[in-house]
Amino acid sequence: MFDRTAVLFIGIAVGASIGQAFASSGGNGATSRPAVAAPVAAANPAQPPRSCPTQVGLSPRLVSAMRDGGEIHIGVFGDSFGDGLWAGLYNDLRRQNSFTVHRFAKQATGFTRYRTVNLLEDARTKLAEQPVDLAVVSFGANDTQDIYEDGKLMRYMGDDWRQHVGDKVRTYVALLQRDGASVVWVGLPRMRDAEFDAKVQQMNGFYAELMCDLHVPFIDTLPKSVDTHGAFSEYLPGLRGGEPIKARAPDGIHMSMTGYRILISDMTDSIRQFAPERPTSERPAAGRATEAARR
């Protein structure tokens, strides 16, 4: 039986990219080389192209879990969209015995809503109860608004707003990484309302750029959330190229259960490679879902 750390390096050597383009087709096996997604933010022709990470980092906790043959603990953090990602990721990994997917997302939260929930303290409490090897994060749909704090108005996506939110996000990511976890940030899909969608795509660009600065993979879900013309569509190609299915919720913002699975199917395939099959006698209990948040 191969050492699990060795398997990880082999998987990466053949191009198992967790940040691959979601416009590429379905699953990617351990021997395939997927395309790499470009950041959502537009390139500045006056500057050389940036080199942004496209693979999950080899964090100490993740390498240790693979080497020791224990469970890989995945924490999904975010708002209601993050909650949907948790459900999709759990449903896709539950049949593989090496994963436990923890539900750390909380609806109606965001980095502009600290008066409601201080995300940093919330994450600190959850991680103290349950450390994770991989943190999957998605925020933003609740943050497309101005901020008024300490008598100061910060317009959405203005310089002050970017600095204010960016500082909070940097501290948040640093907390997730503090104990050696890998971090992946998942972007938002196309929205039905044109005005809201324009703000969401600004948000995607903001996070793509910020995650590049932090050397954290940004997963661009936009290509998998649109029709052949790049427009919003309630129906999307099914998993593994199946018949189109209803993938969006009635609000035009969230996804159906299968819709969330479609958005992150390539990422999920990459995560699966961190847990090669083992003899039955050496397997831990079946993959589980937990809700450590106790909401």
Residues 69-102: pLDDT tens digits?
889 999 999 999 999 999 999 999 998 889 999 9
* Domain membership flag for residue 295: no
What's residue 102's pLDDT?
A: 98
Using DSSP's 3-state secondary structure scheme, residue 91 falls into: helix
Window from 98-102, 232-236, 243-247, 277-281 with minimum mean pLDDT? 277-281
Q: Provide mean pLDDT across the span 40-46.
A: 52
Residues 200-237: pLDDT tens digits?
999 999 999 999 999 999 999 999 999 999 999 999 99
Phi, psi values for residue 165, rounded to 5°: -70, -40
Mean pLDDT rounded to a whole number for the chain: 82
Window from 3-12, 186-195, 205-214, 267-276 with minimum mean pLDDT? 3-12
Q: State yes or no: pLDDT of 277 exceeds 60.
A: no
Using DSSP's 3-state secondary structure scheme, residue 228 falls into: coil
What's residue 190's pLDDT?
A: 98
* Domain membership flag for residue 46: no
Q: How far apart are CA 219 and CA 216, in angstroms?
A: 10
Q: How far apart are CA 169 and CA 214, in angstroms?
A: 10
Domain count of the chain?
1
**Model pTM?**
0.80
Length of the chain: 295
Residues 181-204: pLDDT tens digits?
999 999 999 999 999 999 999 999
Q: How far apart are CA 260 and CA 249, in angstroms?
A: 10
Q: How far apart are CA 127 and CA 119, in angstroms?
A: 12
Q: State yes or no: pLDDT of 20 exceeds 70.
A: no
Strand partners of residue 246: 235
Window from 3-12, 72-81, 146-155, 182-191 with minimum mean pLDDT? 3-12
What's residue 50's pLDDT?
A: 82
Using DSSP's 3-state secondary structure scheme, residue 49 falls into: coil
What's residue 275's pLDDT?
A: 83
In the chain, % helix, strand, coil (3-state, to 5) comes to 35, 15, 50
Yes or no: say if 214 and 292 are a contact pair by the CB < 8 Å rule.
Answer: no
Exposed / middle / buried, residue 151 (Cβ in 10 Å: 0-12, 13-18, 19+): exposed
Q: What is the pLDDT confidence band of residue 290, given thresholds at 50, 70 and 90?
A: low
Work out the end-to-end distance of the chain between its first and last CA atoms, rounded to an integer number of angstroms. 41
Q: Provide mean pLDDT across the span 116-137.
A: 96
* Domain membership flag for residue 88: yes
Q: How far apart are CA 204 and CA 39, in angstroms?
A: 9
Beta strands in 104-255 (DSSP E): 134-138, 147-149, 152-154, 182-186, 218-219, 235-236, 245-246
* Domain membership flag for residue 60: yes
* Domain membership flag for residue 43: no
* Domain membership flag for residue 42: no
CATH code at 71? 3.40.50.1110
What's residue 199's pLDDT?
A: 98
Beta strands in the chain (DSSP E): 72-78, 99-103, 134-138, 147-149, 152-154, 182-186, 218-219, 235-236, 245-246, 288-290
Q: Provide mean pLDDT across the span 173-178.
A: 96
- Which domain does 9 fall in, by range? 4-37+51-290
Q: Which of 19, 8, 14, 18 is nearest to 33 (CA)?
A: 14
Residues 157-170: pLDDT tens digits?
999 999 999 999 99
